[in-house]
Structure 1
Amino acid sequence: MPIVLIDQDSDPDATIVQLSFGDRLGALLDTLKILDTMKALTDLGLHVTKGSVTANEFVVRTKFFITQMGRKIVDPDILERIRLTIISNLLKYHPESSEKLAMGEIFGIKPPVKLDVELATHIHLEHDGPKRSLLYIETADRPGLLLEIIKVITDVNLDVESAEIDTEGLIAKEKFHVSYRGAALTDPLSQLLVNCLRYYLRRPETDEGSY
């Protein structure tokens, strides 16, 4: 199962993107294809400061350290574009992985079993000190998901301090630091946010303004 992780915690100066995949996708070790991924990232106006490839019997991991103007990526729109660029490049060279990724439907290959969005969606919110709360979301992946979630959060007048999204096959796992006027969310605000997100994410066909 292909996995794309966006790590904002391990390096203070760079965003780390790691692509993991089974040995049948091992052709990505080919230098040309790694360079193609790096070029796709630089075409977004980003700088790949370094990269590495590790492998064992079962998994190959390609890791990129990415900055924009010498700094870690904080713009959610850029983070989503990075994620979609990495996945798009994977699908370009390995269309056989399409059925294991939500973006595979763009290539006309649907997964053999469609995820039940309601069963796949899990939301957890907790305090992370007095000034912010930590929001975890696991749900069915789709292009643009990160920006959709941020819109739901900001539409209830909350602030998004940081955002991460990981892709594990057909599932997306997001982590956000959120606050309200510089403080962690109260219980009523937490419940409001969870309800809005649950309603929106479990009904992806819902119009944006209807929650």
Structure 2
Amino acid sequence: MAVAMSAWSIGLPSVEKPTCIVPIFNATSGFGATKPLFIFRKGRLSSSGTTIIPQAAPVANVEDGNQAETDTIPTPIVIIDQDSDPEATLVEITFGDRLGALLDTMNALKNLGLNVVKANVYLDASGKHNRFCITKADTGRKVEDPELLEAIRLTIINNLIQYHPESSAQLAMGAAFGLMAPQEQIDLDIATHITISDDGPDRSLLYVETADRPGLLVDLVKIITDINISVESGEFDTEGLLAKAKFHVNYKGSAIIKPLQQVLVNSLRYFLRRPSTEESSF
């Protein structure tokens, strides 16, 4: 049960368990925001291979987690949501009922120059959900840089693997820095789905679903901005081996016309080099 308290900065001294939880704002997974929440500008991006991920110290036990080995390992889910709050970046982590307090994760985010200003933990039928409301420590504003957003994602996944080594077999990142690489051939077995639809006269909604890998968020944004399409805001979900991206995009302040939509789809498919289908699973 959540108990109200003042804004929680990850600069607080480490303790074994947080003594109380801050109720986070009501958030939805939709795209109802009318104000652009972050703008990716062409020329800002460098190679995604240079991202440095702060490491958390491995831990032997997970606080408040289920340590028993079971036949079914839950699918790890990490959601980075730029739409639900105009002032902060919302991050949600789910891994069945096995997640603990994740104080090491919060300290690792601090090393990226970030503050966790609100936090909430709740349990439902799908598992235990940890939600963090994140801002940049130097400005107090939400994260806008796609490279920093990708660093946040990889930091969280890396720390998830440190807490739960069994999760690395469920994550594409397990092949990069996990203890157990995924058994599936993710480059071959996961198809890519891309759809573009109008989202009013001023922008379009782009869906991309593909096999996950380090640096994917930065690479997707670079491809989009390289053909002079602006990314206003969106959501990036990591669901096990699968990555799902939802971007509000526009071309010179207008929705993307059909010929340019095809150029964008072709560019993304060429880069992703995955089996393609016409239907999306969104």
- TM-score class, shorter-chain normalisation, is 0.7 to 0.9
Task: Say whether the 8 Å CA contact 1:74–1:162 is kept in structure 2.
Answer: no
Q: Output one character per residue of 1:80-128: Cα deviation in whole Å (capped at 9) or x when no partner.
A: 1111111010011211110100100123522122135475210010111
* Stretch moving more, 131-140 or 71-80: 71-80
Tell whether 2:175 aligns with 1:101: no
3-state SS, counterpart of residue 186 of structure 2? coil
3-state SS, counterpart of residue 153 of structure 1? helix
Instruction: State the distance in 2 between where 1:201 and 1:153 align.
Output: 13
3-state SS, counterpart of residue 232 of structure 2? strand
AA aligned to 2:174 is G
Distance 1:180-1:118 versus aligned 2 partners, 3 A rule: farther
Task: Say whether the 8 Å CA contact 1:126–1:134 is kept in structure 2.
Answer: yes
Task: Say whether the 8 Å CA contact 2:76–2:94 is kept in structure 1.
Answer: yes
Instruction: State the distance in 2 between where 1:97 and 1:88 align.
Output: 10
2:152 to 63, 67, 82: 82
Q: RMSD of aligned C-alpha atoms? A: 1.9
1:3 to 69, 77, 84: 77
Tell whether 2:272 aligns with 1:198: no
AA aligned to 1:154 is T
1:170 to 238, 241, 247: 241
Distance 1:182-1:53 versus aligned 2 partners, 3 A rule: same
Instruction: State the distance in 2 between where 1:117 and 1:73 align.
Output: 33
Task: Say whether the 8 Å CA contact 1:117–1:202 is kept in structure 2.
Answer: no
- Residue 56 of structure 1, CA deviation: 4.2
How many residue pairs end up in the alignment?
198
Distance 1:153-1:117 versus aligned 2 partners, 3 A rule: farther
Larger Rg, first or second structure (1 or 2): 2
Q: Output one character per residue of 1:148-179: Cα deviation in whole Å (capped at 9) or x when no partner.
A: 11111122222222242110000000011222
AA aligned to 2:184 is V
Aligned to 1:208: none
Task: Say whether the 8 Å CA contact 2:191–2:274 is kept in structure 1.
Answer: no
Distance 1:201-1:184 versus aligned 2 partners, 3 A rule: same
Instruction: State the distance in 2 between where 1:134 and 1:44 align.
Output: 30
3-state SS, counterpart of residue 206 of structure 2? strand
Instruction: State the distance in 2 between where 1:195 and 1:14 align.
Output: 33
AA aligned to 2:133 is F
Distance 1:161-1:129 versus aligned 2 partners, 3 A rule: same
Task: Say whether the 8 Å CA contact 2:190–2:242 is kept in structure 1.
Answer: no
Uncovered stretches (5+) of structure 2, i.e. residues with no partner: 1-74, 276-282
Aligned to 1:22: 96
Q: Quick check: which one's helix share is greater? A: 1
Percent identity, aligned pairs only? Answer: 59
Distance 1:56-1:159 versus aligned 2 partners, 3 A rule: closer
Tell whether 2:227 aligns with 1:159: no
1:46-195 to 2 correspondences below 5 Å? 46-56=114-124, 59-68=127-136, 69-106=139-176, 107=178, 109-117=180-188, 119-195=190-266
**TM value normalised by structure 2:** 0.66
Task: Say whether the 8 Å CA contact 1:123–1:194 is kept in structure 2.
Answer: yes
3-state SS, counterpart of residue 120 of structure 1? coil
Instruction: State the distance in 1 between where 2:197 and 2:161 align.
Output: 36
AA aligned to 2:87 is D
**TM value normalised by structure 1:** 0.87
